[in-house]
Amino acid sequence: MFDKSTTLEQLNAVNKNTLMEQIGIEYLEVTEGYLRARMPVDNRTRQPMGLLHGGASLALAETVGSFGSALLVDLKKIDVRGAHMSANHIRSVKDGWVFAEARIMHRGRNTHVWNIDILDEEGQLVSSCRLTNFILPK
Amino acid sequence: MFDKSTTLEQLNAVNKNTLMEQIGIEYLEVTEGYLRARMPVDNRTRQPMGLLHGGASLALAETVGSFGSALLVDLKKIDVRGAHMSANHIRSVKDGWVFAEARIMHRGRNTHVWNIDILDEEGQLVSSCRLTNFILPK
Amino acid sequence: MFDKSTTLEQLNAVNKNTLMEQIGIEYLEVTEGYLRARMPVDNRTRQPMGLLHGGASLALAETVGSFGSALLVDLKKIDVRGAHMSANHIRSVKDGWVFAEARIMHRGRNTHVWNIDILDEEGQLVSSCRLTNFILPK
Amino acid sequence: MFDKSTTLEQLNAVNKNTLMEQIGIEYLEVTEGYLRARMPVDNRTRQPMGLLHGGASLALAETVGSFGSALLVDLKKIDVRGAHMSANHIRSVKDGWVFAEARIMHRGRNTHVWNIDILDEEGQLVSSCRLTNFILPK
């Protein structure tokens, strides 16, 4: 459940020993139904041509959309399962950072739907993603 | 362009200093229009609950679908751009390896469409993905 | 629930006064987890350029995938809700018939996932679709 | 090409003898990069349970996104091809009208990406769709 007293440092500590740590994902802002995070464009996230790997953008998008839903439910009683991701890749990025902005579009009893935009440092759209999570009693 | 004399070792060397190296993706079989690769389910690819991160599966899927298209064109004259990914996540995985099987469904003049299944060690479906690549003259 | 004694004529009668009747969709083969249907390419399903409307293909795909799931559950106790559709359009069609072939890919407790291929009269792929249905207790 | 002097009546006349006429789709507002249309929820667009057919919503979404792109190019020189549709179905509708609002998200040289929301009469989200069109020289 979302708890306003939790610090960003504590939220980022959850990512220790995960994919997020491996590719440098860091939460910047976490509120109820909205998250912002960043990811470096470097050797951890590039493809062989030297550009940001589209798959890294998808990993970033699924991270914020999943974590956002986890924060909205009681994980002792409820399972959040990523069910469907769809994404348009719009623009390529060479270096610096990309930023994910996740907003919940639909907070239903059985599903959450998130829109997640990946933006470059100028705020231009890199990828736009939709994640559907199932919300299931354990 | 696909060259049968290229060894798997040479193809995997392309992944040095990329996302693929960072999360342990390795090609196992590469032919014209079909690729197989594997990825470890460990601290490099897990989410905080200890399961395979759906975003890691997406990164694996985008890797094989993109590389598969790159091998079908002359990259000096042609750009391959990942345009759209959609994926259903079906089953969770705790450890071991997952395997990607990518088959080209449509090899058109302007687009390639790939079906990529992610399977666990028992061959059960973990995620099923569709990647659309644009094939554009430089 | 799927009942082998139900005739195709009875199944098609369900489509009376629906979108299916309006655009000429007709079931050809209905078994557990597999359906085949056809739709005419004519003024009921064309776009202004005289080709099959991609949206008509989507309507056909959603029809067979939804009906397929409805036949697998007890509709008195269970709701089937179309949750997500994704589709690649591959080839255009001018006239004649198109055929939908729907196969269930995942029959889970909470979700069904269908692959639905739309084919022309020569069996060439027109569109390839994935429908995710939620399976929810009433 | 978009021509401000064209009337809504003229734009709707293009839909004569098409899927749009068959299921009652009507343009309400057409500007550069934004369109609004409506569709009746009645026997032309319902599924057998008496609700709006998800496939009708998809047909409406593909209609406005395709027409929107067609208005942005010179159709004598350029082909617009619907390449990929993805859609989340959120809410069911029993009767009245649904409204499509289409906004172009990316107007590139080779692709257009549209976000299309389907709304009920109270403005609540029924489905949210993303259409990717290829923009190809003839």
- CB distance from D136 to chain A under 8 Å? no
- Is the predicted pLDDT of residue A2 greater than 70, yes or no? no
- Is the predicted pLDDT of residue A22 greater than 70, yes or no? yes
Give the list of residues 6+ apart from residue D28 with CB closer than 8 angstroms, or none. D8, D36, D37, D38, D99
Mean pLDDT for the stretch of residues B10-22: 96
DSSP assigned state of A58: H
- Note the pLDDT of residue D5: 85
In a domain, D3, yes or no: no
- Is the predicted pLDDT of residue B108 greater than 80, yes or no? yes
In a domain, D1, yes or no: no
pLDDT tens-digit series, residues D116-131:
999 999 999 999 999 9
Cα Rg of chain D (Å, integer): 15
In a domain, A105, yes or no: yes
Write out the H or E segment, with its range, that includes residue C58.
helix C54-70
Closest Cα in chain C to B133: C88
Chains touching C (at least 3 CB pairs under 8 A) are A, B, D
Beta-sheet pairing, D78-89 with C78-89: antiparallel
In a domain, B2, yes or no: no
Cβ–Cβ < 8 Å for D79, C51: no
The angle formed by the CA atoms of residues A77, A78 and A81, to the nearest 5 degrees, is: 155
Q: Considering chain B, what percentage of its residues have pLDDT values greater than 90?
A: 95
Q: Which of chain D's residues have a Cβ under 8 Å away from the Cβ of C92?
A: 81
- Note the pLDDT of residue B3: 75
| Nearest chain D Cα distance for residue C20, angstroms | 8
- CB distance from D118 to chain C under 8 Å? no
How is residue B73 written in tokens?
Answer: 């064109």
Closest Cα in chain D to A131: D88
In a domain, A133, yes or no: yes
CA pair distance C133, A26, nearest whole angstrom: 33
pLDDT tens-digit series, residues D10-52:
999 999 999 999 999 999 999 999 999 999 999 999 999 999 9
Number of H-type helices and E-type strands within chain C: 3, 6
- CB distance from A83 to chain C under 8 Å? yes
Band (C113; pLDDT cuts 50, 70, 90):
very high
Closest Cα in chain D to B112: D83
Output the CA torsion sign for A15, A17, A19, A25.
positive
In a domain, C44, yes or no: yes
Q: Burial level of B93, CB count in 10 A (0-12/13-18/19+)?
A: buried
Residues paired with residue A81 on neighbouring β-strands, in sequence order: A134
Between helices A54-70 and B54-70, what is the axis angle to 10°? Answer: 160
Nearest one of D97, D96, D93 to D50, comparing CA atoms: D93
Long-range contacts of D122-125 (CB under 8 A, 24+ apart): D124/D91, D125/A105, D125/A106, D125/D90, D125/D91
Sheet holding C26-31, edge to edge: C26-31, C34-41, C96-107, C111-119, C125-137, C78-89, D78-89, D125-137, D111-119, D96-107, D34-41, D26-31
CATH of the domain at A53: 3.10.129.10
How is residue C16 written in tokens?
Answer: 């009376």
- Is the predicted pLDDT of residue A4 greater than 90, yes or no? no
- Looking at B21, B29, B32, B62, which residue is catalytic? B62
Give the list of residues 6+ apart from residue A74 with CB closer than 8 angstroms, or none. A1
- Is the predicted pLDDT of residue A36 greater than 90, yes or no? yes
- Looking at D29, D32, D62, D121, which residue is catalytic? D62
> How many independent structural domains does chain A possess?
1
Band (C1; pLDDT cuts 50, 70, 90):
low
Mean pLDDT for the stretch of residues A10-25: 97
In a domain, A2, yes or no: no
If you average pLDDT over every residue of chain B, what do you get?
A: 96
pLDDT tens-digit series, residues B34-61:
999 999 999 999 999 999 999 999 999 9
Band (A1; pLDDT cuts 50, 70, 90):
low
- CB distance from D48 to chain C under 8 Å? yes
Cβ contact, residue pair A108, D90, below 8 Å: yes
* Torsion region of D127: left, alpha or beta (phi above 0 gives left; psi -120 to 50 gives alpha): beta
Put simply, whether the predicted model's pTM sits higher than 0.90 gets the answer yes
pLDDT tens-digit series, residues D53-87:
999 999 999 999 999 999 999 999 999 999 999 99
- Note the pLDDT of residue C2: 65
Band (D94; pLDDT cuts 50, 70, 90):
very high
- Note the pLDDT of residue A79: 94
Mean pLDDT for the stretch of residues B93-111: 97
In a domain, B41, yes or no: yes
Cβ contact, residue pair C44, D14, below 8 Å: no
pLDDT tens-digit series, residues D6-18:
899 999 999 999 9
Of B20, B46, B63, the CB nearest to A18: B46
If you average pLDDT over every residue of chain C, what do you get?
A: 96
Cβ contact, residue pair B106, C113, below 8 Å: no
| Nearest chain A Cα distance for residue D136, angstroms | 17
Catalytic machinery residues of C: 62
- Note the pLDDT of residue D2: 65
- CB distance from A14 to chain C under 8 Å? no
Residue whose pair of structure tokens reads 């080209």 in the numeric block: B104
Q: Which of chain B's residues have a Cβ under 8 Å away from the Cβ of D111?
A: 83, 134
- CB distance from A124 to chain D under 8 Å? no
Nearest one of B20, B63, B28 to B45, comparing CA atoms: B20
Of D86, D108, D125, the CB nearest to A86: D86
Mean pLDDT for the stretch of residues B25-34: 97
Q: Burial level of B97, CB count in 10 A (0-12/13-18/19+)?
A: middle
A32 is catalytic: no
Domain that holds residue C78: 8-137
- Is the predicted pLDDT of residue C42 greater than 70, yes or no? yes
pLDDT tens-digit series, residues C52-98:
999 999 999 999 999 999 999 999 999 999 999 999 999 999 999 99
- CB distance from C105 to chain A under 8 Å? no
